[in-house]
Amino acid sequence: MTLTPKNSGWIEVICGPMFSGKTEELIRRLIRSQIAKQKVSIFKPSVDNRYSEDFIVSHNKRTIKSICVNSPAKILEQASGSNVVGIDEAQFYDNTLIEVCKKLAKSGKRVVVAGLDKDYEAIPFGPMPRLLIEAEYVTKVNAICMQCGDPASFSQRISKEKNQVVIGEADKYEARCRNCFIPYNKEKIHG
């Protein structure tokens, strides 16, 4: 970032596939804000309980204390005294998250959001496309393809579940590049 607003809030979005370091980057930015003695509120969706209910946890086990909420309205209620608001796994919230982030930024807060930009079928995921449009700053991170080693921007589901939201790790997903990604197809997974 070369220019940081001084008299207003703003929205930063960190997006990419599974295993790309989105949460790690979110945690890094929020810890820097805490070191600068800014009041930071950190939120995660209640549906994501892979590691902990009280912490955001990256795949490499780096953690930061967070508040588990089931709706974006709760974020707005609980972030009133903060300078910086962090939101992880934004794709799991409904589209009301967009207005919440806009209201927070309009009230002078720095809003840092991390999430998957597309799901296992490579279609836009939840509120992420609109958040990308609303953001002043966007960081797209890539993983490493688990098949060939090229830059990966897709999350390949390797389990048989068909729901859009399936919480998992390496047991259910692989990072894949464009060439190695196989769009979801029942025949390819089952046979």
Active-site positions? 89
How many degrees, rounded to 5, is the angle at CA 79 between CA 16 and CA 42? 40
Tokens at 46, concatenated: 């209640």
Q: Amino acid identity of 175?
A: A
Q: Are 163 and 133 in contact (CB under 8 A)?
A: no
The backbone torsions φ and ψ at residue 65, rounded to the nearest 5 degrees and listed phi first, read -60, 135
Give, as one character, the DSSP assignment of residue 118: B
| Locus of tokens 């930061």 | 64
Q: Quick one: which of 179, 143, 174, 145 has its CA closest to 158? A: 174
Give 94's contacts (C-beta < 8 A, 6+ positions apart): 71, 72, 126, 127
